[in-house]
Structure 1
Amino acid sequence: MERIEQHASFGGRQEVWQHASATLGVPMKLGVYLPPAALAGQACPVLYWLSGLTCTEQNFITKAGAQQYAAQHGIILVAPDTSPRGEGLANDAAYDLGQGAGFYLNATQSPWAAHFRMEDYVVEELPALVAAHFQTTGRQGIFGHSMGGHGALTLALRHPGRYASVSAFSPIVAPSEVPWGQKAFAAYLGEDRAAWRAHDAVALIATATERLPLLVEQGEADEFLATQLQPERLRAACEQAGHPLELNLRPGYDHSYYFIASFIGAHMAHHARWLRS
């Protein structure tokens, strides 16, 4: 990996790294925050943030205000890009498909399958890369926003035992049932709806073999609440399956990083509880 950016932050250091991804076949960037404990040589747990549509590794590290809490709890924060990027790669003119919209799954359909393998990248390649370059305890958590909230929930549910903690802001909880997910799944996975359900948090809850507690934050003034997010579907699925869920509906808050920054401290404390237990 090559470090291309670094800034002192809350006694630690916010860095941006670039590397050649064997999984995606292109160079990728990721934000890495090293808390003071990590700079002092201590092994720290790792918390992965997955961003939403149109975002890069920059959105979270510049807008969420998470570094101060990562410094307090001694957690390494890793924020990858949302998709492979570059000339010659498949793309779409719309904001909700293609580059910037990887949906954290492995595409099976042409022309996407060659590079759009974000599930393998996040679950396999990225942790190996982080462990090779930084001192970690081996414990890891995952959280994200919108499309990234979908990614955090589904990757935790699809890979039991991999993550010690999970949470989400404004997640797409039932992508098989809403326009964002239906468009992406049809392009990346084809028309087989059984394949869609394998990447749908609401569907996965019914067969989950691990009862990892879910923490979900949702703004009630979110412009995508009724059409794309529909957190009541997740509540119903968790109630039916007996899966632990804390769903916080926040009056007045929208889909923006102002919302995320308002409650990121509580989510960092949630992850610290499990990552350091």
Structure 2
Amino acid sequence: MSLTPIGSHKVASGMLQRYSHTSKTLNSETTFSIFLPPRASEATRLPVLYWLSGLTCTDENFTQKAGAFHAATELGIAIVCCDTSPRGEDVADEDAYDFGKGAGFYVNATQAPYNHHYHMYDYVTRELPEIIEANFPVSDKKSICGHSMGGHGALVIGLREKGQYAAISAFAPIVNPVDCAWGEKAFSNYLGDDKNTWQAYDACHLLSQYEGALPDILIDQGTEDTFLHDQLKTPQLSAQLPVDQSNVQIRYQLGYDHSYFFIQTFIAEHLAFHARALGLIDYPFEL
């Protein structure tokens, strides 16, 4: 696998590096960014938090706006951010912010012409970790987190890939995409008209059918998020939880919106949540 460096910055005493590569899963060029705390080395291979971004984003939105790297350095967590869709002139697209390039929804598309490139689920869960673990001083321990469309991706991947992720967290996730305009548009085009096939990428459905002990989950949702009731529908996920499910926390944060200002405010808490699940700190995560 050939990685092409396209940027490097020292930050929070660690290094943020950006690479492009040809993805065999996406059949296109793609990019990712990786933050390595200063203690990362072949002798000290660190666990990884995979971050999934939302509609219209690239791998750079989180790295430039989230303010996560001081906490990541203190806790000893590497952070990997991928793009939100395949890219390139031959990649099918639509002139819309909520579908096509920048809006891959972390699914494996089955419908032409999108099925040639749009396999973000397999890229995030298979190809990208293989690349990261083979080329950087990290371990195979990992967690997953995301925002909005990326929060949807984190929940779906974490629930489907049992045992692969130590914990799941999300900011303002789309929890019930089979029942909102963003999800209906994306799924009908990527997956076809049979809504039964959509349920494999719907966190509410996956939670309702989940067998065994749930992974640790933390969700933060702003009360002033203009997308809360029509697109995100957080209460519908709460309705699927068992009454005694204490390791799943859904927090409504008073006055916060959908922006990265919201993420900046609580990202250190999310990193501490993942650090506990990854065995980096031994005290319980406190609300």
**Separation (CA, whole Å) in 2 of partners of 1:81 and 1:39:** 26
**Aligned twin of 1:19:** 21
Contact 1:238 1:244 in 2 (8 A): no
Contact 2:42–2:137, Cα closer than 8 Å, also in 1: no
Task: Structure 1 unaligned segments of length 5 or more: list them.
Answer: none
* 8 Å Cα contact 2:58/2:82 also seen in 1: yes
**Superposed counterparts of 1:217-236, under 5 Å:** 217-236=220-239
2:263 aligned partner, one-letter code: I
Do the aligned partners of 2:52 and 2:150 also contact (CA within 8 Å) in 1? yes
Give 5+ residue unaligned stretches, structure 2. Answer: 281-287
Partner of 1:211: 214
State the superposition RMSD in angstroms. 1.3
Rounded Cα–Cα distance in structure 1 between residues aligned with 2:47 and 2:257: 30
Counterparts of 1:75-86 in structure 2 under 5 Å?
75-86=77-88
Deviations 1:46-65 (A, max 9, x none): 11000000000110000000
3-state SS in 2 of match to 1:188: helix
Taking the aligned partners of 2:246 and 2:115, their CA distance within structure 1 comes to 33
Letter in 1 for 2:20: Q
| Contact in 2 for aligned 1:168/1:217 (Cα 8 Å) | yes
How far apart, in 2, do the equivalents of 1:103 and 1:248 lie?
24
Contact 2:166–2:216, Cα closer than 8 Å, also in 1 = no
Taking the aligned partners of 1:243 and 1:262, their CA distance within structure 2 comes to: 24
Identity over the aligned pairs, expressed in percent?
Answer: 46
1:216-270 Cα offsets, whole Å, 9 max, x none, are 0000000101110111001110136948421110111000000000000000000
Is 1:45 matched with 2:47?
yes
Per-residue deviation, 1:70: 0.8
Partner of 2:97: 95
What are the residue-to-residue correspondences of 1:1-277 with 2, within 5 Å?
A: 1-38=3-40, 41-209=43-211, 210-239=213-242, 242=245, 244-276=247-279
* CA apart distance, 1:40: 7.8
Give me the whole-angstrom Cα distance separating, in 2, the residues matched to 1:151 and 1:248: 19
Q: State the alpha-carbon separation in 1 of the partners of residues 126 and 273 from structure 2.
A: 24
> Which aligned segments of 4 or more residues in structure 1 are displaced greater than 2 angstroms?
239-244
What secondary structure, in the 3-state scheme, does the structure 2 residue paired with 1:29 have?
strand
